[in-house]
Structure 1
Amino acid sequence: MNKPDKTPISITIVACNEEKRIGECLRSVQWADDIVVIDSGSTDRTLEIAEANGARVIHHDWPGYGAQKQFATSQAKHDWILNLDADEYVTDKLADSIRNTFLDLPESIVAFECNFEHFLMGRWLRHGEAYPDPHIRLFNRQAGNWNTRPIHEHIEINGPTDKLEGSIRHRTVESLAEYIEKINGYTDLQAKIIVESGKRVRFDQLFLRSFWRFLRGYILRLGFLDGIAGLTHSMTSTLTTYLKFAKAYELQNKDRG
């Protein structure tokens, strides 16, 4: 059976000032029938690049990660949606897996899980928390959607799922300095969530959870096999855990003399 020219799914991408990365993302999904980019106010060449690669571009002011992705879902042409961030792209193996699956799509399946690969310090990580790092990204919107968490949002699905071959490659930063800057912003949001939940931060959360995250990623999941990049990933993951609880502790005690 010959593959159709275009696979009947929608690609949704949320973006803002992503001219350095979005081109690779868009070029990796030209086999899809519908590509929609939800832009929240880019001032660089993001919109020009998106339109040049055949995407529909829709402006929508930024309401938070989960809410923006929900809006993107609502703008898709098809019920089946593959969501990507602008700094991610689909490998050829995953593209073939998706296209072959849609030649004979099982009626019972409502979503598919994909492995992720993460790039850091000049190499694709293959161990630790960084790989295989599976997430649901291809789903039928009749059976689920994104939650509205302001960070670490995910797709909530009601029904059977399956797994695809291949992976989504995530090239999130161009330098370690940029990575630390992102961690600082993310942990601000995470700390706010902790405080708003009413949970009090204790010493064991600051120390033991941070220690466990390093032990799990670097030793138990063999992060050390990725060399200096693996050590850096484990250390920055540990720092992320520590900072979110430390910042929450600071917020909870800021009014004390």
Structure 2
Amino acid sequence: MSLVPVSTLLQEAQAGGYAVGAFNCNNMEIVQAIAAAAEAEKAPVIMQASQGAIKYAGIEYITAMANVAAAMVSVPVALHLDHGTSFEQVMRCIRSGFSSVMIDGSKHSLKDNIALTRRVVEVARAVGVSVEAELGKIGGTEDDIHVNAADAFFTDPEEARVFVRETEVDALAIAIGTAHGRYKGEPKLDFARLEKIRSLVNIPIVLHGSSGVPEEAVREAIRLGVCKVNIDTNIREAFVDRCREVIDEYPDEIDPRKILGPAREAAVELIREKIRIFGSSGKA
């Protein structure tokens, strides 16, 4: 099966009242884990590559691995750029074969964010690639992007309405209390704000920084209109923790396959659990 645009998956999720998991991939084993988990759960899935992943693995490797993974499973798979920050970077990913891109202009003024996003939408839509944008700043650290807690601010519902109208973007990432990376305490999501935004914006809503958000809160966010849930940190934790366990148990092991293989299986189980929480199991 060929890679599909994220917009196709999210439109179905919005109609069905569930969310599609968007899982960040940094190496071959995690790409394999995402595909295996989605196939096992018969769920649509989104593979995401951040700027850090592209820098580490190379855009050609990531695109090739995602295409191979999509061809080997029976469920729909999208390849999405996570937090693209420039028009040039987004165009590079589209040329490479990404089926979806995110342009993150949240650091700009509303006017400039609209202009940048609109420019990306015009080009991407012409070649069948879907576009996600962000309004409001989501705290924490994502690769080279860092937002201090003092600088993070929640998405204004009225600005969201104007932004979506002016950009015609396919999906909108909003800031309602989540953060990238590990949480120091339990996040408190602003469900009233989410509900207000959803009443003004009739496109799929995206929840970033969802690792560490309690299961009940994620389910409530989905009930209120979130259709795409991003997971990265939890996968890293499961993967690396299993690597450490194997190395501790077998300190003389030098075969990377015997270390990374169990780590891949740990990632599969974590991703399958998330898919079930999101309600997308059996939706492929």
TM range, smaller chain: under 0.3
In terms of Rg, which structure is larger?
1
More strand per residue: 1
Normalising to structure 2: TM-score of the pair? Answer: 0.24
